[in-house]
Amino acid sequence: MENKIVLELSNVDMRFGGVLALDNVSFQVHEGSLTGIIGPNGAGKTTVYNIISGVYSPTSGGVRFYGRDITALRAYQINRLGIARTFQNLRLFARSSALENVMTAAQNRCREERPAEGYFYGFVESALHLGRWGSVERKLRQTAMGLLDRVGLADRAEQAAGTLPYGMQRRLEIARALALGPKLLMLDEPAAGMNPEEVFALNDLITGIHKDFNLTTLVIEHHMDLIMRICPHIICLNFGAKIAEGTKDDIQNDPEVLAAYLGGDDAEDGEAV
């Protein structure tokens, strides 16, 4: 039986002034899949995430998540439904420890699952100065430590996030996204700035997480080879339009994809969000 459709974009256009950043983009993501999104700089990859995660509403077209129309929802509402992402430009709390960064994300999840209680705990905890001794905090700490361990950062838990080597900061962002307990994980250029050895370890981490958590995952990568190694299903964008979709072999042999990459400016990135 075909897996459930987790995410569906239908004829999405996104216009920024005179720029058509997305041009009639449609695709579906199936439950439990690991899908790559590739395309040259400026192709619209990050804009796809910004539309899905509610940073922008599309100029036209729609987005469904498990059948529900989320096109007009705000970012925090979409986050609560279980869509977590990382950012191409890291968004960590640089002066907080790695552990605190993950705990903050895990805390948001607790509030979402038990809104009234979460609020109540927050209030009582601060009123009584229970702080780190409270059982809620202990549980958060445990969860966060588990995730840090999963991404290979257990021994860096107390280090300020901003002082971690770049590759580790990227993995910390993944732990933060996982702390939300998402149903859909979206990684935006997780390998950016990593050396080949780190990229190799990242491959294992992404495929491992995808398997262990049975987590529907989208990965944007500007570099085709990484995606080719880990993603059974790939979508290729160019100038805002989907030009190809299929298996690694389909993509590798697609003349439009080859032309996009050969013709494109493959320099390192600037992005809007």
Ligand X SMILES: Nc1ncnc2c1ncn2[C@@H]1O[C@H](COP(=O)(O)OP(=O)(O)O)[C@@H](O)[C@H]1O
What track of x and - describes contact with Mg ion for positions 70 through 89 (by CB under 5 A)?
A: ------------------x-
Backbone angles phi, psi at 187, to 5 degrees: -105, 130
**Minimum distance of ligand X from residue 37's CB (angstroms):** 8
Q: Which helix (H) or strand (E) holds 222?
A: none
* Helices and strands: H and E segment counts in the chain: 10, 10
Taking CB under 5 A as the rule, does residue 272 contact Mg ion?
no
36 binds, among ligand X, Mg ion, none (CB under 5 to 8 A by kind): none
Looking at residue 147, its amino acid is L
Cβ distance 264 to 40 under 8 Å? yes
- Torsion over CA of 174, 196, 48 and 175, rounded to 10 degrees? 0
Q: Which of 19, 72, 94, 128 binds ligand X (CB under 6 A)?
A: 19
Under the criterion CB under 6 A, does residue 43 sit at the interface with ligand X? yes
Minimum separation from the CB atom of position 237 to ligand X (A): 7
> Considering only 40-48, 59-67, 105-113, 243-251, which stretch makes contact with ligand X by CB under 6 A?
40-48
List binders of ligand X among 211-250 (CB under 6 A). Answer: none
**Residue facing ligand X at closest CB distance:** 272
- Nearest-angstrom CA–CA distance, 243 and 33: 20
By CB under 6 A, residue 42 contacts ligand X: yes
Binding site partner of 72, from ligand X, Mg ion, none, Cβ cut-off 5-8 A by kind = none
Among 16-24, 120-128, 192-200, 245-253, the segment contacting ligand X (CB under 6 A): 16-24
- The pairing of beta strand 233-238 with beta strand 34-38: parallel
Query: How far apart are CB 113 and ligand X at their closest, in Å?
Result: 32
CA distances from 111 to 130, 157, 164 (A): 18, 23, 29
Quote the CA–CA distance of 24 and 22 in Å, as a whole number: 6
Contact flag: residue 271 with Mg ion (CB under 5 A): yes
Give the rounded distance of the alpha carbon of 132 from its chain centre. Answer: 29
Q: By the 8 A CB rule, do 254 and 238 touch?
A: no
Site for ligand X in 157-196 (CB under 6 A): none
Q: Does 41 bind ligand X (CB under 6 A)?
A: yes
Q: Using CB under 5 A as the criterion, which residues of the chain lie in contact with Mg ion when the complex forms?
A: 45-46, 88, 271
